[in-house]
A and B are shown apart, each in its own frame.
Chain A
Amino acid sequence: MGNEVVDHGRRRFLTAATAVVGGVGVVAAAVPFIKSWEPSARAKAAGAPVTQSLKKIELGQQLIVSWRSLPIFIVNRTKQQLAALPGQDPRLVDPKSDGSSSAQQPKYAQNEARSIKPEWLVMIGICTHLGCVPTYVGEMKPEPFDPNWQGGYYCPCHHSRYDMAGRVYKDVPAPKNMVIPPYHYVDDMTVQIGVNPKEAS
Chain B
Amino acid sequence: MANVFSRLGGWITERSPGLMPMYRKHMSEYYAPKNFNLWYYFGSLAFLVLVSQIVTGIFLTMNYNPSAAGAFDSVQYIMRDVEWGWLIRYMHSTGASLFFIVVFLHMFRGIIYGSYKKPRELVWLLGMLIFLVLMAEAFMGYVLPWGNMSFWGAKVIISLFGTIPVIGGHLVDWIMGDFLPGDATLNRFFALHVIALPLVLLLLVVLHLAALHEVGSNNPDGVEIKKGPKGNRWSPLAPADGIPFHPYYTVKDLFGVGFFLLIAAFIIFFAPTLGGWFLEHDNSIRANNLVTPSEIKPVWYFTSFYGIVRVMPAFLGTAVWGVLTMFAAIAVLFLFPWIDRGQVKSIRYRGTGFKVGLGVFVLAFIGLGSLGAGVTDKVFPEWFGDVDLATWDNNFGRLMILLYFGFFVFLWAYTHFGWEKTKPVPDRVTMHD
Contacts and interface: CB of A to CB of B under 8 A. Distances in A.
Given A33-B59, A33-B88, A42 B83 contact: no
B114 interface: no
Nearest to B431: A1
Contact of A42 (B62, B77, B254): B77
Given A2-B233, A18-B254, A42-B77, A33 B55 contact: yes
A47 to B, nearest CB: 13
Nearest to B84: A32
A36 B81 contact: no
Contact of B82 (A2, A18, A36): A36
Interface size class, chain A: 10 to 19
Interface in A8-31: 18, 22, 31
Interface string B239-264: 00000000000000010000000000
A29 to B, nearest CB: 9
B88 A40 contact: no
Contact of A33 (B63, B81, B84, B233): B84
A32 B52 CA distance: 14
A147 to B, nearest CB: 50
B83 A40 contact: yes
A37 B83 CA distance: 8
Interface size class, chain B: 10 to 19
Nearest to A22: B254
A5 interface: no
B281 interface: no
Interface in B67-92: 77, 80-85, 87-88
B1 to A, nearest CB: 13
Contact of A32 (B63, B80, B87, B254): B87
A200 interface: no
Nearest to B87: A32
Contacts of B63: 36, 40
A41 B81 contact: yes
Most buried by B among A32, A35, A38, A41: A32
Contact of B84 (A2, A36, A42): A36
A42 B59 contact: no
A35 B84 contact: yes
Given A33-B55, A36-B62, A42 B81 contact: yes
Contact of B77 (A22, A31, A40): A40
Nearest to A45: B81
Contacts of A2: 233
Nearest to A30: B55
A41 B84 contact: no
Nearest to B34: A1
Contacts of A36: 59, 62-63, 82-85, 88
A41 B80 contact: yes
A32 B89 CA distance: 11
A36 B55 CA distance: 13
A25 to B, nearest CB: 9
B426 to A, nearest CB: 16
Contact of A38 (B77, B83, B87, B254): B83
B82 A40 contact: yes
A33 B384 CA distance: 51
Nearest to B60: A36
B58 to A, nearest CB: 9
A33 B56 CA distance: 8
A42 B62 CA distance: 15
B233 A32 contact: no
Nearest to B52: A29
A42 B63 CA distance: 12
B287 to A, nearest CB: 22
A42 B70 CA distance: 15
Interface in A137-179: none
Interface in A61-120: none
A144 B55 CA distance: 54
Most buried by B among A18, A31, A36, A41: A36
Contacts of B87: 32
B13 to A, nearest CB: 21
A35 B233 contact: no
A60 B23 CA distance: 72
Nearest to B255: A18
B428 to A, nearest CB: 12
B77 A32 contact: no
Contacts of B80: 41
Nearest to B254: A18
Contacts of B77: 40, 42
A36 B80 CA distance: 11
Given A33-B55, A33-B59, 11 more contacts: A18-B254, A31-B84, A32-B87, A33-B84, A36-B62, A36-B84, A40-B77, A40-B81, A40-B83, A40-B85, A41-B81
Interface of A: 2, 18, 22, 31-33, 35-38, 40-42
List 10 A-B pairs, minimum CB-CB distance, nearest first.
A32-B84, A41-B81, A40-B81, A42-B81, A35-B83, A40-B82, A38-B83, A36-B84, A32-B87, A35-B84
6 contacts: A31-B84, A32-B84, A36-B63, A38-B83, A40-B82, A42-B81
